[in-house]
């Protein structure tokens, strides 16, 4: 199985901050990397697919980059509604696996 490791596991930031979350795969996954946002008691929501493609309706302050084993999700200017848990997920090979999550909290 491909292990996905996110860092940090938790992060405190303020509205307006620029935030970067990192996801590392245990082996190369080309650009087969997706990002999801999950708020408490809600289902995950797709933000970015195929490393850098923004899902329809997702604000442009979200962006993704990377290739191979190292990937990043960047939020350019945090908004109050962005405080949530973020998960990366590899879709390169079965079993599809998720990172452990990064909890983004208000400072």
Partner 1 sequence: QLQLQESGPGLVKPSETLSLTCSVSGGFISSSSYYWGWIRQPPGKGLEWIGTIYYTGSTYYNPSLKSRVIISVDTSKNQFSLNLSSVTAADTAVYYCASHSWGATSNNWFDPWGQGTLVTVSS
Binding site for partner 1 (CB under 8 A): 31-32, 34, 36, 42-46, 49-50, 55, 87, 89, 91, 94-101
> Which token pair is 10?
């938790």
Closest distance between partner 1 and the C-beta of residue 93, in Å? 10
> Which token pair is 32?
């087969």
Closest distance between partner 1 and the C-beta of residue 64, in Å? 12
Pairing mode of beta strands 10-13, 102-106: parallel
Closest distance between partner 1 and the C-beta of residue 14, in Å? 26
| CA distance linking residue 99 with residue 39, whole number of Å | 16
Closer to partner 1 by CB, 1 or 77: give it: 1
| CA distance linking residue 31 with residue 38, whole number of Å | 22
Closer to partner 1 by CB, 66 or 99: give it: 99
């Amino acid at each position: 199985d491909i292990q996905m490791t996110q860092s940090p596991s938790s992060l405190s930031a303020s509205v307006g901050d620029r935030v970067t979350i990192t996801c590392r795969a245990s082996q190369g996954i080309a650009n087969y990397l997706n990002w999801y946002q999950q708020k408490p008691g809600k289902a995950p929501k797709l933000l970015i697919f195929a490393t850098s493609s923004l899902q329809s309706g997702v604000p442009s302050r979200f962006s993704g980059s990377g290739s191979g084993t190292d990937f990043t999700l960047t939020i350019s200017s945090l908004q109050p509604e962005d405080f949530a848990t973020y998960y990366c997920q590899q879709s390169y090979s079965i079993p599809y696996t998720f990172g452990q999550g990064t909890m983004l909290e208000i400072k």
